[in-house]
Amino acid sequence: MERGSIVVVFCGGVNLLVIQWVLVRELTALLLGTELVVLLVSVSYFAGLSLGYALAGRVRRAWLAPLLALTLALHLALPVWFRLLVVGLEGVRAYPLAYVLLPLLTPLVVSAPYSIFLPLLVDSGAGKLGTLYGLELLGAAAGVLTLVAFGGWGLPGVYGVYTLAGLLILWALLPRHGRLWVGAAGAGCALWLLVLPGANYWSNALWYVALRGLPEGTITLFSGYSPYQKVDVLQDPEGGRYLYLDGLQHYDPGSGSRLNVIMGSVPGLLVRPENALVIGAGSMEMERFMAYYAGQVATVEIDPLVVEASVRYLDDINWMSRLSNRSIVVDDAKHFIANTPQMYDLVATDTPAAFTIQTATLYSEPFFAQVAAHLNPGGVLVVNLTSDFGPDDVVSRRIAAGLLRHFEEVLVVTSGSAGWSFAYAGDALPFDRAGLETALRNNDETEYALFETAAVRAVVGDAAPITLDSMDIVLHISAAYMRGRLGWGE
């Protein structure tokens, strides 16, 4: 087997895996990451692999080096030019085309180029299929290790390894007299990697201004990919800070802060817990409001990057550097609740809406049952119903139905300032309607609707709780959100 073929196939496997990670994280955020978007992006990527295999027989070996050079340029700038493309579409009021154009570009630009190498080398007699395919799989495994080792360094770290692998492929493809071009390509890549952090943050802020309506002059303070999502922290010209997960808003200084008041300060005042737990990190402002009334407040969060971003960039909001009664556990919430011996007086869920299966499980009946088992007598669970509770809203009714299965009392408040409904559940709530209304007014919540348990049951009606084998709610929410973004049904 030719040494060059080994380099091409192995390094191609590395780069296929790395660019898939970048693509999925970035494109999911650009299309405002719901489960349907994740599925669309994944299908598009793997379609590109098949396309590459199909095109391999029509590509001459002499074309591979120029093709790779073009691929390197497109891939190293992928987050930037994908964002600029979407901003351009939004500028001409054609954002819905992004759901067609980007998935069509993905097979051609992202996954097809590297998938051409393997069948082309086999057809040219450079090696046996089984051997070369095994090398490509080893390269993919090395790509996983690359993400583990360098993912914490952000795009420049991951792209540094990607560039090295790409240059090695270019070196293997070029004849000896042409390998001086590898040095020139390497110099160009190195220069781009120096510019990339600034271009990455600039284009990221530009996208949020255009697509999410943030003020002109907004800047990116942090942007990173984790194994779970893309995490962004931005700051507007007035100093207000925003947290976005996969392009979806998780915190803003207005309604996002009011949400934390309703779910943190109000129950904290009413329960005055000795031991409180918040499921999901986010801005961790909710925990700050609870901590004023609580003995200890713990946060459990699966994504360490969210914790890092929140602690580093949102300290003025969450006071993590000032509070001594706060702690953070990095763990999957379901695993944590199932295994902790700790009992709580107050538990609140600071989790995104059920746009994905992962988050939907945190609104499921089995999860509520686990939480109920870890509440002290008189303990309270506070849950965001993610929409306005009412007879026409399927999502909030199904979440409330799950709560009614495991708690004797469920009060629901629809907040005028936060814009959503919230449930307070327990077997023997340590407050009544009057007490809750007083706490709401003391926290400047003057416009609200309040449903007592009987009214909640009436509104829920025959709605079925969310269960682990009925995740259709995710598709329902994803489709509804996408329709809203695309302007369909308006």
pLDDT in tens, 9-29: 999 999 999 999 999 889 888
Q: Are 232 and 252 spatial neighbours (Cβ–Cβ below 8 Å)?
A: no
Give the model's pLDDT for residue 486: 66
What average pLDDT score do residues 443-467 get? 96
Is the pLDDT score of 141 beyond 70?
yes
Q: Collapsing DSSP states into helix, strand and coil, what is residue 50?
A: helix
Measuring CA to CA, which residue among 84, 79, 74, 88 is closest to residue 28? 79
What is the tens place of the pLDDT at every residue in 325-356?
999 999 999 999 999 999 999 999 999 887 78
Measuring CA to CA, which residue among 68, 274, 94 is closest to residue 171? 68
Q: Is the dihedral of CA 453, 454, 455, 459 positive or negative?
A: positive
Is the pLDDT score of 96 beyond 90?
no
Is the pLDDT score of 1 beyond 80?
no
Give the model's pLDDT for residue 485: 65
Give the model's pLDDT for residue 474: 79
Q: What angle do CA 60, 110, 211 make, to 5 degrees?
A: 150
Query: Considering the chain, what percentage of its residues have pLDDT values greater than 90?
Result: 70
Give the model's pLDDT for residue 194: 95
Under CATH, to which class is 255-486 assigned?
A: alpha beta
What is the tens place of the pLDDT at every residue in 185-234?
999 999 999 999 999 999 999 999 999 999 999 999 999 999 889 999 99
Calpha distance 354→466 (Å, rounded): 10
Calpha distance 225→26 (Å, rounded): 8
Is the pLDDT score of 139 beyond 60?
yes
Flag the least confident range among 65-69, 292-296, 334-338.
65-69
What average pLDDT score do residues 361-390 get? 96
> 414: pLDDT confidence band, cut at 50, 70 and 90?
very high
Query: Which pair of structure tokens corresponds to residue 183?
Result: 């040095």
The mean pLDDT of the chain is 92
Flag the least confident range among 1-5, 305-309, 361-365.
1-5
Scanning the structure block, which residue is given the tokens 């946060």?
299
Give the model's pLDDT for residue 180: 80
Calpha distance 147→169 (Å, rounded): 19
Calpha distance 116→64 (Å, rounded): 9
Query: Which pair of structure tokens corresponds to residue 60?
Result: 């001459």
Calpha distance 25→310 (Å, rounded): 19
Q: Express the helix, strand and coil content of the chain in percent, nearest 5 each.
A: 60, 15, 25
Calpha distance 369→406 (Å, rounded): 6
Angle between helices 154-173 and 3-30 (to 10 degrees): 150
Q: Is the dihedral of CA 373, 375, 377, 380 positive or negative?
A: negative
Measuring CA to CA, which residue among 272, 246, 250 is closest to residue 317? 250
Calpha distance 302→163 (Å, rounded): 30
CATH architecture under which domain 3-212 falls: Up-down Bundle (1.20)
Report which listed range, 153-162, 298-307, 345-354, 480-489, is most confident. 298-307
What average pLDDT score do residues 235-246 get? 96
Measuring CA to CA, which residue among 450, 292, 286, 267 is closest to residue 375? 267
Give the model's pLDDT for residue 34: 72
What average pLDDT score do residues 293-321 get? 97
- pTM score, whole prediction: 0.91
What is the tens place of the pLDDT at every residue in 144-191?
999 988 887 888 889 999 999 999 999 998 887 677 889 999 999 999
Q: Is residue 187 within a helix (H) or strand (E), and if so which, with residue range?
A: helix 180-212
Tell me the domain boundaries of the chain.
3-212, 219-247, 255-486
List residues bridging with 249 in a β-sheet.
Answer: 244
Q: Count other C-beta atoms under 10 Å from residue 333's C-beta.
A: 22
